[in-house]
Amino acid sequence: MKIESMHSGSMSYHVLNTAHEGFITGVCMVPSGIVHASYQKRLLPHLLAEMLGLGTKSKTEDAINTALESKGILLSISVSSHFMKVSFTCLKRDFATLVLLIAEQLQEPRFDKEAFDHLTSRFETYFESLKDDTSYLAAASLSQVLYPEGHMMRQAMPSEMLEVLKKMSLKDIQSYHAEYDPFMHAQWIVVGDVTLADVEKACDQLKTKQGQALAMARDTMLPLAVKAQKKTVKVKDKQSVDVRMGHIMALDEHHPDFLPLKLAIDALGGSFSARLMRTVRDEDGLTYNVGSAMEACVPGHHGHWFVYGSFSPALLDKGIASINKQLKLWVKEGVSQTELDERKNGMIGKYTVVGLSSASGLAMRMAQNMNQGYDLEHLYQLPEKIEAVTLDQVNQALKTYIDLDKLVTVCAGSI
């Protein structure tokens, strides 16, 4: 399967023709992501994405939903770091109609005051619920130790987000939306029973609004210089304590050491057969939930790696001790060839069987690659890149980037 691309007017099209007869799926990528709103108004892209689905100037929300449901069209709008993503699925014969519905929602939203009030109420309820979510609180607290205020990768505590929400008005959203043309530099990813000519013809009917794109509003910031420390977030009446242990990594997804390090961290705790599951959970019997991952390695920004786990308050100290024991062995002895082979097979299998086996999976992976700054051919290159990583590269990356003397430990729960 070959991805065909072209640029026409202010938009680009990336089309992958597959054997899914009569069926089309994809994503319209609008450059209006988190990086395009200021830190002080960082909820704007999320609120706008929700408001775009709540009716247009000529159609109520119910009318929009009826138009979609009558043709079996699926459509959703979300936000990533660099894009607003309009995800869609429809029959081949309805693609031109779908494009017009997307254009209407993006260009002519209703911006109803009552709908805005209901939306902010839902956001408020969500942020209030996070005050009791120990997993979120542990992750957010760790990020606040690692990243300065204003950093793209810093997660806010629920009380902070409630304060940001209170300052948001419908006028803010309207002004933000008026600043740009949603189809200026938009990228259309379309997969299924479709050709490049089909997509160009359907999208050629779109009209630009004012011919400008949003500028970046978030600066690249360095993470904080942090020493090893422990932090506690107390939450009443919880039966388990969530733990996060990690530190900054001086690389992003495009660094040559990223993939070897990802494999090392995956071998530690990225699956049910990984080391932490086999030891802390199966052998020591201390938890059902333990693992490790990398996070926030957005191009141009340093990310961090972390270990996570949930323990009863009575077993918390034993749980942390068990994790620390495995971390020391992992850093000292490295990853074995058997572990590396198992994780290569697991990552490649998950990528190809789960990620690339369906039209929607292909479209989502292409959209994710675009958001992360990869070229489109990365879609097919990743399995080969994973297979090419050597054991020496994995263990060298582990020793280069993992420093247990910098480990930050956060516990959230009834402690």
- Cα angle: 125, vertex 126, 127; to 5 degrees: 95
Alpha-carbon span 154 to 222, nearest angstrom: 11
Q: Which two tokens stand for residue 21?
A: 């007869």
From CA 285, how far away is CA 110, in angstroms rounded? 55
Helices (H), 108-225: 113-130, 134-146, 158-166, 170-178, 196-203
Q: Is residue 224 part of a domain?
A: no
Q: How far apart are CA 86 and CA 50, in angstroms?
A: 11
Let me know if 223 is exposed, middle or buried by CB neighbors in 10 A (0-12, 13-18, 19+): buried
Q: Is residue 343 part of a domain?
A: yes
221 inside domain = no
CA gap 367, 282 in Å, rounded: 37
In this structure, are 146 and 272 located in the same domain?
no
In tens digits, the chain (415 residues) has pLDDT values of 789 999 988 899 999 999 889 999 999 999 999 999 999 999 999 999 999 999 999 999 999 999 999 999 999 999 998 899 999 999 999 999 999 999 999 999 999 999 999 999 999 999 999 999 999 999 999 999 999 999 988 999 999 999 999 999 999 999 999 999 999 999 999 999 999 999 999 998 887 666 788 888 888 888 998 899 999 999 999 999 999 999 999 888 889 999 999 999 999 999 988 999 999 999 999 999 999 999 866 776 788 999 999 999 999 999 999 999 999 999 999 999 999 999 999 999 988 876 777 888 899 999 988 888 888 888 888 899 999 999 999 999 999 999 999 999 999 999 8
C-alpha 59/C-alpha 206 separation (Å) is 18
What is the CATH number for 72?
3.30.830.10
- pTM, two decimals, is 0.92
| Residue-number span of the structural domain to which 113 is assigned | 3-203
Q: Examine residue 106 and state whether it is found in any structural domain, yes or no.
A: yes
Tell me, yes or no, whether 184 and 260 share the same domain: no
What is the rounded distance in angstroms from the CA atom of residue 337 to the CA atom of residue 78?
A: 40
Q: What phi and psi, each to the nearest 5 degrees, are found at residue 307? A: -105, 140
Q: How many whole angstroms separate alpha carbon 127 and alpha carbon 411?
A: 20
